[in-house]
Amino acid sequence: MIIRAMQLKDVEGVLNVEHLSFAIPWSEAAFQHEVTGNPFSRYYVLTDDADRVLAYAGMWIVIDEAHVTNIAVLPELRGHGWGKKLMQKLVEEADACGVLFMTLEVRVSNVVAQNLYSQFGFKYQTIRSAYYSDNHEDAMVLTKEWENR
């Protein structure tokens, strides 16, 4: 398995993972913009030997903050540590860029993801009520801070 920067050729594979992972998936145009038109974005794909997209993750780095926008793994490959490897890549990239903190939102019901984020030092900050438009579920806002910067 290889983790590399997302390219335009990966958008179709990313969309497949996205549609299998989220009730309200991002559009093709949104991912194309992340690759070609958003100077703040950092997106990565995890691919197999045939260069098939198996998972992806992305964030925006703006000044001193990194905001995780998405992370998803094909359903049949979950539980094998691929999400953890992608999260590690995001944290390493944010650290290399000298950010002071990272933020993200996660569904209050998504305990698996919350456990993953806690392994990287993310801590609870607040709740965003009715954040998700598909079912009005609350989002938990988590933040990771870098010490001594």
Q: Could you report the average pLDDT of every consecutive run of 10 residues in the chain (149 residues)? A: 95 97 93 96 96 97 96 95 96 96 95 94 95 90 89
Per-residue model confidence (pLDDT) at position 28 = 96
For the annotated catalytic residues, the residue numbers are 105, 117
All residues at 6 or more sequence positions from 106 whose CB lies less than 8 Å from its CB, including other chains: 113, 114, 117, 139, 140, 142
All residues at 6 or more sequence positions from 95 whose CB lies less than 8 Å from its CB, including other chains: 146
Per-residue model confidence (pLDDT) at position 122 = 97
